[in-house]
């Protein structure tokens, strides 16, 4: 590939629109929130203002954000996201394998079915889960046919995890499919020809070669799950809030933007740690990158 320095004008022409977009709608707003996280509400005429701030004058927002209650919410977000990500991996891997090994004429149809949920609004999909798991929903109606139930399936952690799996499963399937499709199948055939079982071939050959796709899928699922608030609000109720709900509450209900900004950056720091771990795994892996 040619060095971009040899074609500076072409590079600048292509990079400028996207760069300006990122600067305007990402870098500048995030910089403002970062400054706001070290700020406090201004006192105007003896009253606390709702729109004016004293900038860069306090660390109190961060000291409050690492308090016990908010650390509990952060930990709840981490472990529910981890469980949902693990379940997505368990479900997505065989599904991606099935699509890759399907007849070529069926692959476009199967991929279309995988990305079809992206065409539906997240709120609609979440309320669809609500209608399925509610007391008079489809699941309890099925239980009623065999004389069981109804059961309370909403307002608990299990409902939140099920909702996260439903929403983010395609984010795990697509990078896995991309990686598995690039596999050199002669490695698998050689392993089987040399006497290895299907299980041994998967553990020793397939899994290591697809590990970059696994890690990419984990990141794509874990990070959105970590900051979710809609799914936990609708399916989990107030007793199953996580850090995303606390951030939403500070910005929309409590009108405490400095504290909400500090909570957002605490969550972002956790995200950066996840990305660093992904980078370290990608450097050590010799598999096929997604």
For residues 238, 240, 244, 247, the Cα torsion angle rounded to the nearest 10 degrees is 40
Using an 8 Å Cβ cutoff, are 96 and 173 in contact? Answer: yes
Q: What is the pTM of this model?
A: 0.85
Q: Which residue has the higher pLDDT, 123 or 281?
A: 123
Examine residue 31 and state whether it is found in any structural domain, yes or no: no
Per-residue confidence at 7, pLDDT binned at 50, 70, 90? confident
* Residue that wins the pLDDT comparison between 290 and 200: 200
Per-position b or e across 202-227, b if 16+ CB within 10 A of its CB: beebbeebbbbbbbbbbbbbbbbbbb
285: phi then psi, degrees, rounded to nearest 5: -80, 145
Is a pLDDT exceeding 70 seen at residue 69? Answer: yes
pLDDT score of 235: 92
What secondary structure does DSSP assign to 114-145, as a single string? HHGGGGS-HHHHHHHHHHHHSTTSHHHHHHHH
Share of the chain above pLDDT 70, in %: 94
Q: Is residue 48 part of a domain?
A: no
Range of the domain at 242: 59-284
pLDDT in tens, 29-54: 999 999 999 999 888 877 888 788 89
Structural domain includes residue 49: no
Query: Is residue 106 domain-resident?
Result: yes
Q: Is the bond preceding 150 in cis, omega lying within 30 degrees of 0? A: yes
pLDDT band at 150 (very low <50, low <70, confident <90, very high): confident
Residue 43 resides in a domain: no
Query: CA torsion, points 211, 216, 222, 227, in degrees to nearest 10?
Result: 170
Is 47 a member of any domain? no
- Quick: pLDDT tens for 101-143: 888 888 889 888 888 888 888 889 899 889 888 888 888 888 8
Report the CATH number at residue 84: 1.10.3720.10
* pLDDT over 80 (residue 3): no
Select from 210, 212, 127, 224 the least CA-distant residue to 170: 224
Per-residue pLDDT, 80 = 94
Q: Rounded distance, CA 174 to CA 278, Å?
A: 17
Mean of all residue pLDDT scores within the chain = 87
pLDDT of residue 2: 62
Residue 262 has pLDDT above 70, yes or no: yes
Is residue 26 domain-resident?
no
Mean pLDDT to the nearest integer, 16-31: 92
Q: How far apart are the first and last CA of the chain?
A: 19
How many independent structural domains does the chain possess? 1
| pLDDT given at position 31 | 94
Q: What is the pLDDT of residues 157-171, one digit of tens each?
A: 999 999 999 999 999
In a domain, 217, yes or no: yes
Taking residues 273-286, report their average pLDDT: 70
Q: Which stretch of DSSP H or E encloses residue 49? A: strand 47-54
């Amino acid at each position: 590939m040619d060095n971009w320095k040899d074609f500076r004008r072409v590079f600048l022409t292509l990079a400028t629109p996207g760069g300006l977009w990122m600067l305007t709608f990402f870098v500048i707003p995030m910089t403002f929130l970062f400054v706001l996280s070290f700020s406090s509400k201004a006192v105007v005429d003896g009253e606390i203002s709702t729109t004016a701030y004293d900038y860069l004058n306090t660390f109190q927002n961060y000291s409050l954000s690492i308090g016990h209650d908010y650390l509990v919410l952060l930990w709840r977000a981490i472990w529910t996201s981890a469980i949902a990500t693990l379940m997505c991996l368990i479900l997505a891997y065989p599904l991606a394998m099935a699509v890759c090994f399907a007849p070529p004429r069926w692959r476009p149809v199967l991929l279309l079915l995988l990305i079809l949920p992206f065409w539906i609004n997240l709120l609609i999909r979440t309320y669809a889960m609500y209608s399925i798991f509610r007391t008079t929903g489809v699941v309890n109606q099925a239980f009623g046919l065999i004389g069981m139930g109804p059961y309370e399936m909403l307002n608990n952690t299990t409902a939140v995890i099920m909702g996260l799996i439903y929403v983010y499963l395609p984010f795990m399937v697509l990078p896995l499919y991309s990686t598995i499709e690039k596999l050199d199948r002669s490695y698998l055939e050689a392993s089987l020809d040399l006497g290895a079982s299907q299980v041994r071939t998967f553990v020793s050959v397939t899994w290591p070669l697809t590990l970059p796709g696994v890690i990419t899928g984990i990141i794509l699922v874990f990070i959105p799950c970590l900051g979710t608030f809609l799914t936990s609000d609708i399916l989990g109720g107030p007793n199953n809030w996580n850090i995303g709900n606390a951030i939403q509450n500070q910005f929309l209900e409590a009108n405490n933007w400095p504290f909400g900004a500090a909570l957002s950056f605490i969550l972002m720091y956790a995200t950066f740690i996840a990305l660093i771990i992904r980078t370290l795994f990608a450097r050590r892996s010799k598999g096929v990158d997604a």
